[in-house]
Structure 1
Amino acid sequence: MQKRQIRTAFLLGAGLGTRLRPLTDNMPKPLLPIGGRPMITYSMEHLRAAGVRRFIVNTHHCAEKYAAAFPANTWQGIPITFRHEPVLLDTGGGIKNIEDLLAYDERLIVYNADIITNLPLTPLLDRHFSGRSEVTLALRSNGPLLNVSIDGDGFVCDMRHVLNNPGVQSCLFAGIYIVEKSFLSRLQAGRIESIVPPLIEMIKQNSRSVGGVVIDDGHWHDLGTLEEYNTLKQGINY
């Protein structure tokens, strides 16, 4: 049986973090301290436990702070490749921008670096390998923004209500997903683009092309407000 493990993860670290100003005026949001260490290291720890052995991190705002935080371009012995974006490319553009770094990878875990979670990643890996979708999203059934719809077979049938298809359940997108390398052919180099429009087009063409799995186990925090950050900054107890 093929081992359900993915070697490389792409951590989205290039955002401006405007919702956490003034803390992010001179610091990338994923480097803000939680329990005395950079927020992004919780993501790295989570991914390492799932078998990831290489990190790619995109940078933009205060990119030099990443070099200071990881002077050896490693974390806990795992290599980190930083890819700078002089112009922010958004999620889809950022994924396309690392295509040349994926010569030996068939697929990739993409992870928002400003979330803190210990949700189990095994169900996401299992769903991706068994569902054979080109992209598979980790979802939760509760949260502030339930704008991903899934059908009765667990395939994503709408995002952001663009297709007016409520499916059987509305879910929160957890900010973690798996993409096959073939997905990158749908993206245009240099284009500033969210991942959502290409996913919508895929759903229109093939109702089974984007999978989803609801994972309600574990904790999940989006560090999107100063209040949320201040609640967690002393540390995580799980």
Structure 2
Amino acid sequence: MKALLLAGGLGTRLRPLTENLAKPMALVGNRPWLEHLIVHLKQQGIVDFVIAVKHYPEMIQRYFGDGQAWGVNIEYAVEKKLLGTAGAIKNAETLLSDRFLAVNADIVHQVSLLPLLDFHVKHKGGVTIGLTEVDDPSQFGVVEQRDTGEIIRFVEKPDKESAPSNRINAGIYVMEKEVLKWIPQGREVSIERETFPLLIERNVGVYGTLIDGYWMDLGTKNRYRQVHWDLLDRKLSLPLREKEHGTGILIGEESEVAQGVLIVPPVLIGRRVKIGERSVIGPYAVIGDGCELGKGVRCSETIMWNGCKVRDAAQLKNCIIGYGLELEASHILHEAVMNRTAGGGQG
């Protein structure tokens, strides 16, 4: 069975970080999330992938190539224009297996696929949607189901009191290839507003079942931060290259921490990082590979991507700093979201 990874979204809510970046390539624990996703699915037996790309496709293609470095096979379905979730699936049709897994590649999750696949085989319908439960369904499209798990309708952003359930689409689907005949070719198609309601009307069999494990939409800056705090708190378990140096302190190879540096866990420090004397790092700091922090730097509740340079006495709190940025001495930033080429922004 092949897995189709839907990686073509524009990532508008994560700008300026995604001005020059495909959203699934945003770093999570100092590695692109899309890499974590491929590794996670491979661990569950999937080795054949199709990646649907639109926004900076060359970045994804250059990084992963044919997938051999990860022990998998990767093909690409390139969208010439935005097609929406269902349109992107249709665009990849010729590359897909008769039964396939489709995953929104900007959803951070650690989900066991076997219960989802078993449920799909048992109900013999055309589609199984992985569902997750939320406290407030008014911000999402929720499902109404029969006791069998069959979905009878979607309700978009209902009032909390009138919502038929608190179950929402988790962006993970098992699909029979034959249902793609109901998706029009070459135009933008919403899977929730157009495709699934049509499949329900045609009695194709659209079912849903709860997934277990960690789930978080990467789509906003606050959620992006939360994913990292959950990673540091071990609520999200991802394979990391950094090694533990005391409880809650992870440091990569060839990193240099000067004398007098105070590290307040939890902290993740990448490879080849240099931290100057009397700096205070943490709590909740993620420092990317190859970063250089000067003397007396204070950095907490901050995510810093690879190759950044922070001059002496700079202070960073609750910031997200993009690739290769240089921050001046004594620079004080609070809740800043900055990108090198986009000029930065406040989040």
TM-score by length of 2: 0.61
Aligned to 1:189: 185
Instruction: After superposing the two structures, state which structure 1 stretch, 111-120 or 167-176, moved more.
Output: 167-176
Instruction: Give the Cα–Cα distance (whole angstroms) in 2 for the partners of residues 74 and 44 of structure 1.
Output: 12
User: 5+ unaligned residues in a row in structure 2: which ranges?
Assistant: 238-347
Alignment of 1:1-238 (within 5 A): 7-74=1-68, 76-102=70-96, 105-142=97-134, 144=136, 145=140, 147-161=142-156, 169-196=165-192, 197-206=194-203, 209-215=205-211, 217-233=212-228, 236=231, 237=234, 238=237
- Higher RCO structure (Cα 8 Å, ≥6 apart): 1
User: By percentage of residues, which structure has more strand?
Assistant: 2
How far residue 81 of structure 1 moved from its aligned partner, in angstroms, is 0.9
> Alpha carbons of 1:98 and 1:175: their partners in 2 closer, same or farther (altered >3 Å)?
same
Partner secondary structure for residue 86 of structure 1: coil
Aligned to 2:244: none
Q: Kindly provide the amino acid, as one letter, of the partner of residue 59 in structure 1.
A: V
Contact 2:143 2:164 in 1 (8 A): no
Instruction: Give the Cα–Cα distance (whole angstroms) in 1 for the partners of residues 109 and 120 of structure 2.
Output: 20
Partner secondary structure for residue 212 of structure 1: strand
CA offsets 1:107-138 (integer angstroms, 9 cap, x no match): 11000001111122111101100011100000
Instruction: After superposing the two structures, state which structure 1 stretch, 55-64 or 21-30, moved more.
Output: 55-64
Instruction: Give the Cα–Cα distance (whole angstroms) in 2 for the partners of residues 68 and 42 of structure 1.
Output: 17
> Alpha carbons of 1:53 and 1:21: their partners in 2 closer, same or farther (altered >3 Å)?
same
* Aligned-CA RMSD value: 2.2
Instruction: After superposing the two structures, state which structure 1 stretch, 175-184 or 41-50, moved more.
Output: 41-50
Instruction: Give the Cα–Cα distance (whole angstroms) in 2 for the partners of residues 23 and 222 of structure 1.
Output: 16
Contact 1:111 1:175 in 2 (8 A): yes
Alignment length (residue pairs)? 225
How far residue 16 of structure 1 moved from its aligned partner, in angstroms, is 0.2
Instruction: Give the Cα–Cα distance (whole angstroms) in 2 for the partners of residues 161 and 82 of structure 1.
Output: 32
Contact 1:31 1:40 in 2 (8 A): yes
Q: Kindly name which structure, 1 or 2, has the bigger radius of gyration based on alpha carbons.
A: 2
Percent identity between the two aligned chains: 35
Partner secondary structure for residue 213 of structure 2: coil
